[in-house]
Amino acid sequence: MRSVLVIGTGLMGTSVALALRARDVRVHLRDVDSTALRTAAALGAGTVAAPTEPVDLAVMAVPPPLVGRVLADVQAEGVARHYTDVASVKGEPWEEAEALGCDTARYIGGHPMAGASRSGPLTARADLFEGCAWVLTPTADTGNDTLNSALELVALCGAVPVLMRAAAHDRAVALVSHAPHVVASLVAMRLEDADDRAVSLAGPGLRDLTRIAEADPGLWTAILSANAQVVADLLDDLGEDLRQMVDGLRAIASADEAKGRAGAETVEGMLRRGRAGRTRIPGKHGSGPERFEAVSVLIGDQPGELARLFADVGRAGVNIEDIRIEHATSKLAGLVHLSVATGLTTLLKKALQARGWQHR
Amino acid sequence: MRSVLVIGTGLMGTSVALALRARDVRVHLRDVDSTALRTAAALGAGTVAAPTEPVDLAVMAVPPPLVGRVLADVQAEGVARHYTDVASVKGEPWEEAEALGCDTARYIGGHPMAGASRSGPLTARADLFEGCAWVLTPTADTGNDTLNSALELVALCGAVPVLMRAAAHDRAVALVSHAPHVVASLVAMRLEDADDRAVSLAGPGLRDLTRIAEADPGLWTAILSANAQVVADLLDDLGEDLRQMVDGLRAIASADEAKGRAGAETVEGMLRRGRAGRTRIPGKHGSGPERFEAVSVLIGDQPGELARLFADVGRAGVNIEDIRIEHATSKLAGLVHLSVATGLTTLLKKALQARGWQHR
């Protein structure tokens, strides 16, 4: 692959461009937003000059509802030999492309499973896709050269290709991303008009649960819109589960003891199934859920405390799999929860103790 | 305060006992589970011998549905001058205590806003409540000495007392803890029977959202049961929001353009309100939401990488407010997101760059 046109210079497009530039691919940039375009070019993502001959691949990094229209336009120009996109929904854009009479043999849908909570070219980076799954959704129409061209793009970005049908992809992302996003937003929305005193009791659990609700509402409306049917069906199922849970709780709150016991069984059964579902979420490196144990260490709030802690952890030869910092609400201190592979906790605790850390 | 009886030697009770022992209070321990009791005593949390004269304060660290019954029993024994509990629900236990004819002048409800995802005396620690809010729910009945005794307990545990009405407390914890817990479990439950391929696309957002679903289903059924009415009402409201969201999405999915625009407005409006609600969650040290910026650094997966990173951060004199580690799905590398106070990012980035770190 020698030349690529990146259409749309937000976070995703600019990151693709930077990754390709790092592998010496010639990159042309295009965006209707001239500020974003100039910013991406200034970051070294490519040239704003239009290609003088068809490029090997055009990558559309535009919101899902625009993919079909943009594809029709650029194919009419004949700007590239092959076409792909990085939008987070795959079914509807493909249908639109087909309805608009696009050459679907030369277009393959793509979706790198990477992102950030902020958007725009300034948040882009060449390593955004390193090690990430990058879904490609070929159809019976897709030409071999087009598929290979997309596979080369994925490899150049350091990602791992995953071939799926568009419909299966859309159901999967609705399940693991779109519906959870809506739920996080709805839980956070309930805090909008809540008492100050009530909100002040919120802890790290709620903070983690609602983190994704910080994302750009405009962009997420576009994402949800392009997968609206699938997400709505899934949220309906979730609403049904919610009703069952409410029925269980109301049975518990009733005066009837037998009903109460049945209600408690419903509630506990659903919490158990939730815990079982949770264990299926893959851990690091796509290696499936692993079991780690946490060692919690009390630290002060001065610069250098974490450095001192991690230096001591490093000396113990123990690798930290995950970190969570829990700030106390009023003292200048916090707890650092260090996840380490099961079996290394004793070693780590001894090493920390020897160096004067308070842990458990 | 010279002597305390702790009833229930799980995580909370044993942690209270350890905190009091560290301040030289004489602590008696009691538990129907003799293994838990012996474990707590072996940890230095107090003596298993019964007090020979009434103690200053009895602390009931039992699940919410047991508080009323236990209080009636120990008051009948006359084991203490004052009584409190640490259960996470306050209204129903008080009503039960009153119905059982307890001396409510000598009992004050309490709820330290601390916990851990695991339970049992082995997870206890003396500093569990350091800097945490500790809600106390006095009523018109509560004696002054009883209130002061509870305030002394809170102070000895290093926590910050927050006085609230029981009903307001129960609504607040339903909002910031109980209802979110149910929602996290329901989202996780949807993963139980999902395709492997679909679950493999899950990222850090879903992992964070469902973290609390890992907690003990039995304990959480007891917590939800004691606050069942309030949680059910709140989940009904949430269900109503969910229906509105689904209606908005179905309008978008419909062929009708005007309906679609209205649906998109509904969806975007709710996402906006979610983002607004999210900003109300307090940041560290109870100081209200602060604005931090993230600097993301690429690290390898060898022991010592984090130590090296934090040593370099410490040398820059920058204090890390929060850390999130994002593991790539297939490469032996990850991203560390460091949150630092707005304004310090440039300094930190320069320092990291000078030491050869890849960041953005």
pLDDT category of residue B327 using cuts at 50, 70 and 90: low
Average pLDDT over chain A, rounded to an integer: 90
- From chain B, the residues in CB contact with A309 under 8 A are 310
* Torsion of Cα atoms, B296 then B301 then B302 then B307, to 10°: 30
Cα(B12)–Cα(B121) distance, integer angstroms: 8
User: What chain B residue is nearest to A297 in terms of C-alpha separation?
Assistant: B127
Kindly state the helix (H) or strand (E) to which residue A247 belongs, with its residue range: helix A228-253
Pick from A182, A189, A229: which is nearest to B273 by CB?
A189
Is the model more confident about B307 or about B10?
B10
- From chain B, the residues in CB contact with A296 under 8 A are 125
Is the model more confident about B347 or about B221?
B221
User: What chain A residue is nearest to B266 in terms of C-alpha separation?
Assistant: A221
Q: Is the ipTM of this complex over 0.90?
A: no
Q: Which of A189, A254, A195, A251 is nearest to B167 (CA)?
A: A195
Query: Is A139 within 8 Å of A94 (Cβ atoms)?
Result: yes
Model confidence over A153-176: pLDDT tens digits?
999 999 999 999 999 999 999 999
Find residues 149-208 of chain A whose CB sits inside 8 Å of chain B.
158, 160, 162, 164, 168, 171-173, 175-177, 179-192, 194-195, 197-203, 205-208
Residues B46-52 have a mean pLDDT of 97
Q: Which of A158, A262, A174, A176 is nearest to A224 (CA)?
A: A174
Residues B306-320 have a mean pLDDT of 77
Contact B242 A186 (CB under 8 A): yes
Residues B93-104 have a mean pLDDT of 96
Crossing angle of helices A345-354 and A305-315, in 10° steps, is 120
Going by C-beta distance under 8 Å and a sequence separation of 6 or more, which residues neighbour residue B52? Answer: none
CA angle (A47 as vertex; A56, A149 as ends), nearest 5 = 20
The strand pair at B133-137 and B3-7 is best described as: unpaired
Token readout for A316 is 């113990």
Cα(B182)–Cα(A206) distance, integer angstroms: 12
- From chain B, the residues in CB contact with A124 under 8 A are 360
Q: Does B358 touch chain A (CB under 8 A)?
A: yes
Cα(B338)–Cα(B313) distance, integer angstroms: 10
Cα(B333)–Cα(B305) distance, integer angstroms: 10
pLDDT in the model for residue B227: 94
Residues B44-71 have a mean pLDDT of 96
Q: Is the pTM of this model over 0.80?
A: no
Cross-strand partners of A335: A298, A326
Interface test with A, best of B306, B319, B359 (most A CBs within 10 A): B306
Cα(A45)–Cα(B332) distance, integer angstroms: 26
Model confidence over B141-184: pLDDT tens digits?
999 999 999 999 999 999 999 999 999 999 999 999 999 999 99
Query: Is B212 within 8 Å of A209 (Cβ atoms)?
Result: yes
Say whether pLDDT at A353 is over 60.
yes
Say whether pLDDT at B217 is over 90.
yes
Give me the sheet containing A322-327, strands edge to edge.
A292-300, A333-341, A322-327
Query: Is A70 within 8 Å of A44 (Cβ atoms)?
Result: no
Q: What φ, ψ does residue B193 adopt, rounded to 5°?
A: -110, 20
pLDDT in the model for residue B286: 43
At position A8, the amino acid (one-letter code) is G
pLDDT in the model for residue A331: 46
Say whether pLDDT at B287 is over 80.
no
pLDDT in the model for residue A333: 60
Structural domains of chain B, with CATH: 3-164 (3.40.50.720), 165-286 (1.10.3660.10), 292-359 (3.30.70.260)
Cα(B275)–Cα(A188) distance, integer angstroms: 7
User: What chain A residue is nearest to B185 in terms of C-alpha separation?
Assistant: A274
Find residues 65-104 of chain A whose CB sits inside 8 Å of chain B.
none
Find residues 248-277 of chain B whose CB sits inside 8 Å of chain A.
249-250, 252-253, 263-264, 267-268, 270-277
- From chain B, the residues in CB contact with A344 under 8 A are none
Token readout for B25 is 């209070």
Q: State how far Cα B225 lies from the chain centre.
A: 17
Query: Is B312 within 8 Å of B351 (Cβ atoms)?
Result: yes
Cα(A94)–Cα(A100) distance, integer angstroms: 10
Interface test with A, best of B89, B160, B191 (most A CBs within 10 A): B191
Residues B315-325 have a mean pLDDT of 74
In angstroms, the Cα distances linking A344 to A309, A355, A357 are 16, 17, 17
Cα(B123)–Cα(B142) distance, integer angstroms: 33
